Amino acid sequence: MSQRQIIHGFHAITARLRHHPDSVQVIYLDQNRRDKRARDLIRLAESAGVRLVLTEGARVEEMARGKSQGVAALADPIVLARDLDEVLDDLSEPPLLLVLDGITDPHNLGACLRSADAFGAHAVLAPKDRAAGLGAVAIKAASGAADAVPYLTVTNLARSLRELKARELLVVGADDEAQATIMDVDLTVPVALVLGAEGAGLRRLTREHCDLLARIPMYGQVESLNVSVATGVCLYEARRQRVAGLAVPSAARP
């Protein structure tokens, strides 16, 4: 069994109880929480047969190493796909992958996972080094998506992009200065959407390994979007095209 983990926050723990109750060993709840969210969580834990311990809020905060909303749980990690082969081999539609190039803020990582789950991305890839890991803060921010979307870390992102292209995935990098927009690109094909780190964008080597670059058109005074917002926009466009059965004739397609 993999090492157990601490998860915290009502969204993350509630999602785990609903979808993977057997993985939750024990829940610790601030004994001073008497609001509806706490009562609902107690009922859900009881119905799932999971032990819940009322304790001091300070103990919960110490377990969560930060803001916990007054609840933390000891749980076994959820085993999702562990590599690209497991992700890609049994898909019933063209692959839709999200690649994150050095996202260092765990809140942004969690938000990106939420968008990946919401819009049906099959996996998220990220480098092992110089990036936020899938720790308690990211899991809380993901609000349950960390238990649903495979998060694969790779040693060499450029090599992984080459592998994706060898598998005939179109690798599309998001870049504010690209001529093509994300709506110009056919995202109904097997595709990996690559988004860069907060502020810095795509690294040079990552950009060079993309088949093409595309931007999100901006119509206001703001020049760029937070990476998690940009992720949601790009994944939404991919899902929109797929639901509509569109095939965008793109001059940007290599």
Instruction: Tell me which of 75, 96, 128 is where a domain ends.
Output: 75
Q: Are residues 147 and 217 in the same domain?
A: yes
**Do 154 and 127 meet the contact criterion of CB atoms below 8 Å apart?**
yes
Q: Are residues 111 and 134 in the same domain?
A: yes
Q: Are residues 65 and 105 in the same domain?
A: no
Q: Where are the beta strands (DSSP E) in 62-140?
A: 71-75, 96-101, 123-127
**116 assigned to some structural domain:** yes
pTM: 0.79
- 190-212 pLDDT, tens digit per residue, is 999 999 987 778 999 999 999 99
Domain that holds residue 189: 84-244
Q: Are residues 46 and 103 in the same domain?
A: no
- 168-179 pLDDT, tens digit per residue, is 999 999 999 999
Instruction: Tell me which of 23, 45, 75 is where a domain ends.
Output: 75
**250 assigned to some structural domain:** no
CATH code for position 43 = 3.30.1330.30
> What span, in angstroms and rounded, lies between the C-alpha atoms of 121 and 245?
17
